[in-house]
Chain A
Amino acid sequence: MSSFFSILYVVVFLPSVVILYNIFPKKYRPFVLLIGSYVFFFSISGKLLLYLLFSTLSVHHIGLWLTDLQAERNAKLKLVEKTEKKELKSLYQTKQRRVVLFGVLLHIGILLVVKYTPFFMENINSIFAAFDVPVTLNIPKILMPIGISFYTLQAVSYIFDVYREIISADRNMSRVALYMGFFPTIMEGPICRYGETAHALYAGERTNYNGLTMGIQRILYGMLKKIVVADRLNILIKNVFDSGNQYDGGIVAVAAICYTVQLYMEFSGTMDLVIGTAQIFNIRLPENFRQPFFSKSVSDFWARWHITLGTFFKDYIFYPLSMSKPLKKLTSKARKHIGNHLGPLVAGAVALFCVWLCNGLWHGAGWNYIFFGMYHFVLILSGNIVEPYAKKLLEKLHINREGIAYHTFSVVRTVILVVIGEMFFRANGLSAGLSMFKSLITNFSLASFKDETILKLGMDIEDFIIVGITLLIVLVISIFKEKDINVREGIAKRNVVLRWGIYYALIIFIIIFGAYGRGYVPVDPIYANF
């Protein structure tokens, strides 16, 4: 099994797990899911399953450690005088913080070693070379278990939530194990919170007809996005990005747009498959996308794109930093010197910088990813800074911010900024990204469209038409979703002829127009590599 879209997964693995899940009595069903999850993990990462098992054991233990400290503290609080309570609380908070620090360092440490060692060592070698130090470090090849970036964040959120007493540590090891390793979420998320999903995962509710049909429907929608669009765009994107400086700005622009579309179709399509799969097991997972291309600003975009990662950074990095004593002090000082608007933004900028540095690094070990993070940091911060001035300017110019023209302008502006960011994200290194950006600005030309060079890069006119039609379908469904109209439920309520007709049409559309088989190279699960 190489991905959720492999034949083995769709035709053998998933149906087998669904059947076994429903055959077994309720209390054994979570174990069917857990064993299925480990089989899935093992089929992709083999012995690296040990990493997941270790993380599960340690997070389970650290959770219990924290809970025991909390119980001990509570017991002692009942026995001490009021005056001593504060001191006792502080003592136990310090103890708990040490445990949290240990837990977080342990998990993030594993992630850092596995994912970033080659990157750090390459940079050390570059520094040595720059200063003529005759030392070259051997860069080790470290195999990375699938989904480590995702389950590590889940482990960290579990530790923090126990520490903050949002949840109690779970004494049931298998429930923690299922939370950490549930097979649909292991590769590309969504990054779940223990309090929201663990109990549903462990409930063992039987598959019902509605969940089955709605789940399959969602899986098919995901396949439409992934197989028809994302995989079809793959050859063109690879051709242009592999030698980006050979092409004029027109082709670079098309490739950058195609990559942004591909990333969205691949990731959101996978999320449809993941959430649909969970729905079959009667489990509700958090959504990861909310029509991101309807965003009016970059910060709005990131509130709609990879939502669970954004909320993770907000809850576990941005807010704790913003609320920390040093940054609170900084805010009050800055207020005095630069006023009530810019003052809080200074401390906010520090927290925001940390968030986007982590965001860039989380996506990959490379300078282009750090640049990607900083690019968004600058865009969001500058947006926050100019917001009141922009508001005043628009008022003076009598431009209605709620009007359709300004709305359209905002959406288009956001999309352009996002596309440029994604171009750096996909580029083969930072210098390649900068070179493509230079080409985009200084060498923009439509000549490649006139002489049809654009049709010689892996996609012919029919391919573009099919991608266009599919995007139109996705756009219409997205518009309905934006207006809170649930298309899927709407279809499910129709009579059987229309309903089945739509389902058959969707399946046949995917089978005929899917980019699979001879001549196609399916795109690897993009986010699974982060």
Chain B
Amino acid sequence: MKVFKQILRCVAFLAGLMIILTALHPVLAPKNNTYEAGIEDESANGILSEKKNTIDVLVLGDSLSHTAISPMLLYKDYGITSYLCGSYGQFMYDTLRYLELAFENQSPKIVLLETDTLYRKFSVGDAIASGIQCEFPVFRYHDRWKDITFADFKGDIRYTSINNYKGYRGKDIVKGIPNEPYMIETTEVESVSIMNQIYMDEIAEFCEEKGVQLILVSTPSVLNCNYARHNGIQEIADKYGLEYIDMNLMTEEVPIDWTMDTRDKGDHLNHEGARKVTNYLGKFLVGKNILSDHRNDVAYSNWNKSLDIYMEKIEMVFDEKIPVALNQNK
């Protein structure tokens, strides 16, 4: 009886702690999706400001995703509305979090997962930390205590930061390397770690439950891609019955010139490389016949405004070869 009482006391204490942690969240949570308001990744979290159910394609992954795919070009040339929830050094637990976050307000028909994140290793501790942060976001945003005001206690949240590039973070810097074959065919397989497979399971299951088509995409990267990895991803694709596009093998459809189309010697693509990837991807997505062209849809007029800004600040500037970094998004 005494032991039972002690266990009950422990449970009551922990329950009380959870209630306090949950109650603290509205106070410490960022009240807007801007850096100034304390949000973690303004670009990826820009999806929170998108009108409900307007995003048809969601892109997830690490920096290879948000440097290789330009959603505004997909819109301009194919009328596809997409958003890039890719972030620097994204781990699979982040990928799952962004996927779930995106579906809170959107109902994409296709989810593209850039596969480099599948080879990003992390520890069990990192995964647990991420899980705790998801359950109790106070752990993620605890440091906001420095900026807290009385308004924070009201808990009103308004996401107003529209990202006009829809998560794209291109650069027009050219730091090329010679065009040499890097996808040398082999039967070797670089397996995906168990931790990444666990999250892949969850992502695949989530998409299946939502009735969404999940497609694995490897964008071109000399430093991060090789045939053994291609084989590893192919195994994953086969296991879940997913479509897999490896653009590293599509030298005709995605004709990357490594002397000109990379910004950091074969690690990431520059804007010219991204144009080529996006152009192929647009055709591929249109071929799916499940996406609508929203260019003349009044409900998507905001996208046309964003397109004007994008054209003015990116396409035109880059065409004139004015070197600018594209971190500012407005």
Name A residues whose Cβ lies closer than 8 Å to a Cβ of B.
1, 6-9, 11-12, 209, 460, 462, 500, 503-504, 507-508, 511-514, 516-519
Contacts and interface: CB of A to CB of B under 8 A. Distances in A.
Interface stretch (B17-25, B166-174, B298-306): B17-25
A7 B129 contact: yes
Contact of A511 (B124, B126, B138): B138
Contact of A11 (B16, B17, B28, B132): B132
Contacts of B28: 512
Given A6-B125, A12-B124, A519 B143 contact: yes
Interface in B143-166: 143, 145-146
Contact of B17 (A460, A507, A518): A507
A511 B143 contact: no
B139 interface: yes
Contacts of A7: 125-126, 128-129, 132
A494 to B, nearest CB: 15
Nearest to B146: A462
A518 B28 CA distance: 15
A512 B6 contact: no
B142 interface: yes
B140 interface: yes
B293 interface: no
Interface of B: 6, 13, 16-17, 20-21, 24, 28, 40, 123-126, 128-129, 132, 138-140, 142-143, 145-146
A9 B129 CA distance: 11
Contacts of A460: 146
Contact of A517 (B124, B140, B145): B140
B20 A504 contact: yes
Chain B CB within 10 A, most for which of A6, A11, A500, A511: A511
Nearest to A518: B40
A120 to B, nearest CB: 35
B124 A512 contact: no
Nearest to B141: A517
A504 B6 contact: no
A512 B16 contact: no
A11 B139 contact: no
A21 to B, nearest CB: 16
21 contacts: A6-B125, A7-B125, A7-B126, A8-B123, A8-B128, A9-B125, A12-B125, A209-B6, A460-B146, A500-B13, A504-B16, A508-B20, A508-B21, A511-B21, A511-B139, A512-B24, A512-B145, A513-B142, A513-B145, A516-B142, A519-B143
B20 A512 contact: no
Contacts of B140: 517
Contact of A508 (B6, B13, B24): B24
Nearest to A500: B13
B142 A512 contact: yes
Contacts of A514: 142
A193 B132 CA distance: 39
A511 B6 CA distance: 25
Contacts of A517: 139-140, 142-143
B179 to A, nearest CB: 38
The 8 closest A-B pairs by CB, nearest first: A8-B125, A7-B129, A7-B125, A209-B6, A462-B146, A512-B142, A7-B128, A512-B145
A5 to B, nearest CB: 11
A500 B140 CA distance: 25
Nearest to A9: B125
Contacts of B143: 517-519
Contacts of A504: 16-17, 20
A195 to B, nearest CB: 33
Contacts of B16: 500, 504
A517 B40 CA distance: 11
Nearest to B41: A518
A284 B239 CA distance: 53
Contact of A503 (B13, B138, B142): B13
B87 to A, nearest CB: 12
Contacts of A508: 20-21, 24
A11 B128 contact: yes
Contacts of B6: 209
A12 B128 contact: yes
Nearest to B3: A209
A513 B132 CA distance: 17
Contact of B125 (A1, A503, A512, A516): A1
A507 B20 CA distance: 10
B11 to A, nearest CB: 13
B169 to A, nearest CB: 18
A382 B132 CA distance: 55
Contacts of B128: 7-8, 11-12
A209 B138 CA distance: 29
A527 B46 CA distance: 44
A466 to B, nearest CB: 9
A8 B129 CA distance: 8
B305 to A, nearest CB: 32
Given A8-B123, A11-B128, A503-B13, 18 more contacts: A7-B125, A7-B129, A8-B125, A12-B124, A12-B125, A12-B128, A462-B145, A462-B146, A500-B16, A504-B16, A508-B20, A508-B24, A511-B138, A512-B28, A512-B138, A513-B142, A518-B40, A518-B143
A46 to B, nearest CB: 14
A460 B21 CA distance: 26
Contacts of B124: 8, 12
A496 to B, nearest CB: 8
Contacts of A511: 21, 138-139, 142
A12 B125 CA distance: 8
A504 B16 CA distance: 9
A460 B146 CA distance: 10
A12 B123 CA distance: 13
A162 B262 CA distance: 68
Contacts of A519: 143
B12 to A, nearest CB: 9
A518 B42 CA distance: 14
Contacts of B139: 511, 517
Contacts of A1: 125
A256 B40 CA distance: 33
A422 to B, nearest CB: 28
B199 to A, nearest CB: 17
Nearest to A503: B13
Nearest to B142: A512
A220 to B, nearest CB: 12
B114 to A, nearest CB: 22
Contacts of B146: 460, 462
A9 B124 CA distance: 11
A425 B129 CA distance: 34
B278 to A, nearest CB: 30
Contacts of A6: 125
Contacts of A512: 24, 28, 138, 142, 145
A8 B126 CA distance: 8
A130 B300 CA distance: 76
B121 to A, nearest CB: 15
A511 B137 CA distance: 11
Contacts of A462: 145-146
Chain A CB within 10 A, most for which of B24, B132, B139: B139
B271 to A, nearest CB: 28
A201 to B, nearest CB: 24
